[in-house]
Amino acid sequence: MAQNRLRRLFLLATLALVVAGCSVIGIPDSPLNSLDPQGPFSRRIDALFWPVFWVATAIFVLVEGAVVIAAIVFRDRPGRPEPRQIHGNNKLEILWTVIPALILASVAVPTVRGVIELTSCGVDAYPVEIIGHQWWFEYRYPEEGIDTATVLVIPAGREVCATMTSEDVLHNYWIPQLNGKRYLVPGQETLLRLQADEPGEYRGQCAEFCGLSHSLMRAEVRAVTEEEFTAWIAAQKEPAAEPAAGTPEAAGRDVFLNRCTQCHTIDPVNVVVEEAFNGPNLTHFMDRGWIAGGYLPYSRENLARWLSNPPDTKPGSYMPDLALTQVEIDALTAYLETLR
Amino acid sequence: MTTTTARTTTIFRRPRSETGFWSWITTVDHKKIGIMYGYTAFIFFVIGGVEALLLRIHLASAESTFLTAADYNGLFTTHAVTMIFLVVMPMSAAFMNYLLPLMIGARDVAFPRLNALSYWVFLFGGIFLYSGLIFSSVVPPLGVTPGVTGNLDPSDARSFFGLPDGGWFMYQPNAGPAFSPGRALDFAVLGLQILGIASLLSSVNFIVTFFNLRAKGMRLLRVPVFIWMTLVVAFLLLFSLPIIAIALFMVIFDRQFGTLFFDATAGGDPILWQHLFWLFGHPEVYILILPAMGIVSEIIPVFSRKPLFGYAAVVFAGAGIAFLGFGVWAHHMFASGISTVAQVGFGLTTVAIAIPTGVKIFNWMATLWLGRIRLATPMLFALGFLTMFTIGGLSGVTHAVVPSDWQQHDTYYIVAHFHYVLFGGSILGIFGGLYYWFPKFSGRMLDERLGKIHFWLWMLGFNMTFAPMHWLGLQGMIRRTWRYDPSLEFWNRIVSVGAFIIALGLLVFMWNFYRSKRRGPLAGMDPWDARTLEWSIPNPTPVFNFAEVPVVHGLDEFWHQKYGEDKDGRPVRKDDADSTLTRLQEIGTNPPNPVHLPSPSYFPILMAAGLPLIAYGIIFHLSLFGKALIVVGALLSLAALIGWGSEPLEEAHMEPAHA
């Protein structure tokens, strides 16, 4: 018996040491940390979470404590008399029905208020549209006629109201530091409010299982100052620069014209028909800083890796292996780098 | 062994063997059926566990290439389908089958052959589901359906192992024909349909048994809690399975015949699937947990030497959970874009369901309080259930707060939550039951020392595996993710190590089981000094259960046969307790009167065998072979049904089996 208890103590101590050790090491927070709110909506959720968390923790300590105490204090030992056969107690039953009901009611009230506040956009919110594709997010700015992908640029300190839908399967837009998540449903429109306090980059992820490359379907919200936002809008409306004849960039544009135009638009080089299969609009490709649906940060190596065999990087990718030669990849890279 | 020659009452000679292979194939004995459920579910438990270990090896690093995306998606789908439909449900069914008649003082369930049919349908459904591993690559993938844009290259999409990869929840349209043309998913859908039939048959059987076969004097509020929970689960199955059956038929029609119920481009609605799925799926959660709650409600009083505190409250709380369980389904859909009113409404019902759950937990604690607690292995597992399930319940409350759920939904926080409920709850409860009732079917005791090693390995491994997942989820690690952010790697490694400690604990259990079944100490009739009727007959249980059908005078009937109470209300062993036990042992071994039992039959297994044939036929329905299979399967089931109908339940002249 004593040996048994020692063993248990030893186990508990090991576990405590491991936990303590890890918190000392100080693992960095994930960029998707939902406990690090950076805008009013995520802060609203955070403020709902913590009180409930602490109430739950208190109940946890009480219940587990009572079980452990009971197992120690009332443990069968030689000479312990038989217990009285207590069948129940109606007062206690009422007590532990009513008290939890009251605690839960006090949780329910702010919940209801939170839901009502967070499910409809403010009247002055800046409108954007988010469209899900396997496996990347498309963004449209209906007031400006802008069509871009992966990185959503928003003005910091202003509410953005995203109207969302999907072209294919269910997706789920989630920028943990700015708000909770919401599905993108084919044939329906859903709403998501986004707002960042400060300029910055906020990572996101498709949270609803959407097929082979679900885990690689990532997103980013880049919040900028109002001036930067105005400038960005103006820049986005500019067509792509025309490369001078005979340059590597012009060769790259020819590769693009030959191989990529069935899916990708570069204004004014070509426009993909709406009904056809759509890839991300590449007119301002270099503005994003991310490729492959936000999975890889932009670098020449990553771009070469992506172009040489997309499904190898993103399983199931609709962008097929086009068997591009190194020369074609270099030319394309040179051209794409002009698309700022 | 009887020697009378069998009268041919039907197309077959009546099966006669009482031991060996054919006795199991033709049995209608609820105990044998329960044991077969148990072993089958255990095999699937090992399979589902290996699937989990493969997933955890993969997830030990952020950019792992151990599994391809298709195989990863396939494994998390089959892990879930296996653990829910082929492990926890049939494990619970094993206990219900074995114990329902014993705990109400009956000789069998109401419809013994129907019971055998349930088992065979379940077994064939499980085998059919897993046969997709072999056969799904034989069938060409579904063609592209008009009106949809999906154009996946099926060779990319198909998992190497031939696993269905749409997730157990099969959200549409991703699991529809356009985006999952691979045929493995059809095996899963049709397999679940077959498994549903098995559960539906059991539920009817258990309900009728409960209401009609209770021993004399066993009024409703004298029925053991485990049996109450069996009834509640049977009603949950009865009302929820038709919903999933319809939903699965819609998926089958979408996939095979182009109905496009869930395809928005054809006027269908992907959210409709979610409503139908969770209208079944949430009651299913209680189908998985209530049997374990019943089991611990039996174990805790025995090892505290006190009656269950607030028996009626525990029973009504169970029924209340089941009732409310039908009204909370859309809390799985808070992020789906359902209306504000729906989110508020389902948020409130979800909060409310915590109340009866709390009542149960408090009553179990009050049972422990002031008791005389023996920490034998079954009790350790019951206490493990109590502590771990409480964590799962409390984390559940944190996502009843709808906006919090918008953050937690589809993350590892949810994975942590439901594993605390389904492993920390259901599986710990079930294993507590295994340790507790092992003597009932084997006549021997499991080794206590190995049992305790098993328990502590599981508590360590379980918490190492699932506690860090709360943190990972709050840190933004999404579910069903083949890759994740490298900053999450450390805790994922801890989780993966924990998973292997769980596996080690299971190996200890398997060794214990193997050894104890052969060489464990003999249990005698009442090894735990228990309270309920199943312990008032010898171990292992005689084939006829009760030589004399007991008359019940109160709750915990068997306890009161052994114990009276002094003026303080403390139990005092009756003077004649020992002679009562000896007499019970004696008549259980040599029954004074002949006992008539239902005779074995070939027809349940034959009838069940028709169902997978029909299912294979549906998958191959474009070929003549497939169409022929449908006809053959249907004819086989129909013929077996006719044979069944023309065969009497009991051979009139059959001698008692023990004679």
Say if CB B187 and CB B618 are below 8 A apart. Answer: no
Q: How much is the pLDDT for B621?
A: 87
What would the two tokens of residue A117 be? Answer: 């506040």
Of B365, B386, B401, the CB nearest to A107: B401
CA A14 from centre of chain? 35
Longest dimension (CA), chain B: 81
10 Å CB burial of residue A132 (0-12, 13-18, 19+) is buried
Q: How much is the pLDDT for B233?
A: 98
Residue A86's CB is within 10 A of a number of other CB atoms, namely 16
Chain B contacts of A80, Cβ < 8 Å?
Answer: 372
User: Distance (Å, rounded) from C-alpha B165 to C-alpha B151?
Assistant: 17
Which segments of chain A are extended strands (E)? 126-133, 136-141, 146-149, 151-155, 160-166, 171-174, 182-184, 190-194, 200-206, 218-224, 290-291, 296-297
Average pLDDT over residues A304-330: 93
Residues in contact with B141: Cβ distance below 8 Å, sequence separation at least 6, in sequence order: B154, B157, B158, B181, B182, B183
Q: How much is the pLDDT for B4?
A: 43
pLDDT grade, residue B133 (50/70/90)?
confident
pLDDT grade, residue B151 (50/70/90)?
very low
Residue B530 pLDDT greater than 90, yes or no: yes
Measure Cα distances from A145 to A7, A123, A192, A266, A278 in Å. 68, 21, 20, 14, 17
Strands A126-133 and A190-194 turn out to be: unpaired
Chain A contacts of B268, Cβ < 8 Å?
Answer: 187
Residue A32 pLDDT greater than 70, yes or no: yes
Q: How much is the pLDDT for A275?
A: 58
Q: How much is the pLDDT for B363?
A: 97
Residue B451 pLDDT greater than 80, yes or no: yes
Residue B8 pLDDT greater than 60, yes or no: no
Strands A126-133 and A146-149 turn out to be: unpaired
pLDDT grade, residue B165 (50/70/90)?
confident
Q: How much is the pLDDT for A25?
A: 64
CB-side exposure of B276: number of CA atoms within 13 Å? 21
Please indicate whether, in this complex, the C-beta atoms of A83 and B570 are within 8 angstroms of each other: yes
Residue B512 pLDDT greater than 90, yes or no: yes
Q: How much is the pLDDT for B523?
A: 94
Better-scored residue on pLDDT, B130 or A21: B130
Q: How much is the pLDDT for A9?
A: 64
Query: How distant is the Cα of B606 from the closest Cα of chain A, in angstroms?
Result: 39
The full set of domains in chain A, from first to last, is 23-77+120-236 (2.60.40.420), 248-336 (2.60.40.420)
Q: How much is the pLDDT for B11?
A: 64
Of B375, B404, B484, the CB nearest to A52: B404
Please indicate whether, in this complex, the C-beta atoms of B171 and A170 are within 8 angstroms of each other: yes
Average pLDDT over residues B324-348: 95
**pLDDT, mean over chain B:** 92
Say if CB B502 and CB B461 are below 8 A apart. Answer: yes
Please indicate whether, in this complex, the C-beta atoms of B167 and A187 are within 8 angstroms of each other: no
Please indicate whether, in this complex, the C-beta atoms of B368 and A86 are within 8 angstroms of each other: no
- Name which of B70-79, B133-142, B177-186, B439-448 the model is least confident about: B133-142
Helix (H, G, I), strand (E, B) or coil at B551: strand
Chain A contacts of B570, Cβ < 8 Å?
Answer: 81-85
In tens, the pLDDT along A83-139 reads 999 999 999 999 999 999 999 999 999 999 999 999 999 999 999 999 999 999 999
Q: Which of B408, B387, B381, B422 is nearest to B469 (CA)?
A: B408
Q: Which of B457, B494, B498 is nearest to A21 (CA)?
A: B494
Q: Percent of chain B, pLDDT > 70?
A: 93
CA A147, A328, A243: angle at the middle one, nearest 5? Answer: 55
Most confident among B11-15, B178-182, B258-262, B595-599 (mean pLDDT): B258-262
Q: How much is the pLDDT for B143?
A: 60
Please indicate whether, in this complex, the C-beta atoms of A35 and B475 are within 8 angstroms of each other: yes
Q: Could you give phi then psi for residue A130, rounded to 5 degrees?
A: -120, 130
Residue A37's CB is within 10 A of a number of other CB atoms, namely 21
pLDDT grade, residue B158 (50/70/90)?
low
Residues in contact with A279: Cβ distance below 8 Å, sequence separation at least 6, in sequence order: A260, A263, A264, A272, A318, A319
